[in-house]
Amino acid sequence: MRRLSLFLFVLVWATALLAQTTAEILGTVADESGASIPGAKITARNTATGIVSNTTSGEGGQFRFPLLQPGKYEVSIEKAGFAKLVRSNVEIQLNERANIPAQLKVSATQDVINVTGEVPLINTTNSEVGVNFDSQRIQNLPLAPNSNILNAALSVPGVSQLSAGNSGFAAGGVSFSVNGMRTRSNNFVVDGTDSNSPSVGGLLQEINNPDTVGEFRMITNQFAAEYGRAAGSVVSIVTKSGTNSLHGTAYWRHNDNKLNSRSNLDKRVFTRAPWRIENQFAGTLGGPVVKNKTFFFGSILR
């Protein structure tokens, strides 16, 4: 009995971790009159990795793909007597439950209806209040000289950066308060794993190479029960993974005296600017090990 209880606990715990790093696609298959269609075959294919998931609509026409990796998908729905429906460019974000339209048209031939369109941004499946930062948004936003990924969180409504006297109270390089709560009230999760400093709170593992982050979501209200702990916010960070194509990034950041001017105080204290030279190198590389099955991704920061 104890072994069974331990097994069930580990299973539930592992499922909760996956739920914090994945997304879902769901919907209801119906005909043009609105009547549900059971037994339809639905396939969801990740266009970057080629990984395919399959399911069948239930008695009420409902279907659901849980625990999907965030990204772009092609969803196809087919049933005998109806034209096949293919929805491409279905992009799902971290923790999103994307409800897609799935209406089939009667057809006696092997017709295929292709629909290209993005998933509506309005969340109709839960009451969470939060903001998603995808890789493109992370790349375009200014992240301060230290390139810490948490600098992006300072642009979220309800988030306020603490004064210099309090900034050292939380780990992670960036201290902030959400909805008036303490810095220790923020919960940080990296790839589904707890990453909170046990002593002062804050992100235990600083992420100063934004190119390693695939997406992160900051929930500021109405957290799901799977998170726990937080009273201010939940910051869930997912790192990038490899795809079927080899890809990578590299950058060099340089700063020295010639690129800076002295302040009035520096001019009074120093006859010339204090010595400064900074160089930071970073890069990432990812790709396939076995196409459509196994991938690698790595990064370096110096």
pLDDT tens digit at each of 302 positions of the chain:
554 444 333 333 334 444 567 899 999 999 999 999 999 999 999 999 999 999 999 999 999 999 999 999 999 999 999 999 999 989 898 888 888 989 999 987 778 888 876 666 567 777 888 899 988 889 888 888 788 999 999 999 999 987 555 555 566 778 888 998 888 889 999 998 899 988 878 898 889 899 999 999 999 998 887 787 778 899 999 999 999 999 999 999 888 888 877 778 777 777 766 677 889 899 999 999 999 999 999 999 88
* H/E element, 7: helix 2-19
φ, ψ for residue 177, nearest 5 deg? -110, 140
Show the tokens assigned to 15: 């499922």
Integer Cα distance of 53 and 45 in angstroms: 6
Tell me the C-alpha to C-alpha distance, in Å, between residue 63 and each of 33, 99, 101, 207. Answer: 19, 10, 11, 37
First to last CA, the chain: 51
Superfamily of domain 2-116: Carboxypeptidase-like, regulatory domain (2.60.40.1120)
Closest CA to 81 of 38, 118, 51: 38
Domain 129-239, CATH: 2.170.130.10
At 39 the pLDDT is: 96
Question: Where do the CATH 2.60.40.1120 domains begin and end in the chain?
Answer: 2-116
Torsion of CA 287, 87, 137, 167, to 10 degrees: -90
Closest CA to 186 of 196, 173, 199, 198: 196
Instruction: Evaluate whether 6 touches 73 at the Cβ level (below 8 Å).
Output: no
Integer Cα distance of 171 and 153 in angstroms: 15
212 sits in the region (left: phi over 0; alpha: psi -120 to 50; else beta) called alpha
Tell me the C-alpha to C-alpha distance, in Å, between residue 35 and each of 40, 59, 87. Answer: 13, 11, 20
- 294-301 and 277-290: which strand pairing? antiparallel
At 127 the pLDDT is: 81
User: Taking the model in full, what pTM does it have?
Assistant: 0.78
At 68 the pLDDT is: 94
Question: Where do the CATH 2.170.130.10 domains begin and end in the chain?
Answer: 129-239
Q: Could you tell me which residues are beta bridge partners of residue 24?
A: 97
- The secondary structure of residue 82, as a DSSP letter, is B
At 240 the pLDDT is: 93
Give how far the C-alpha of residue 144 lies from the chain's centroid of Cα atoms, to the nearest Å: 21
Amino acid at 184: R
- The secondary structure of residue 95, as a DSSP letter, is T
Integer Cα distance of 198 and 184 in angstroms: 10
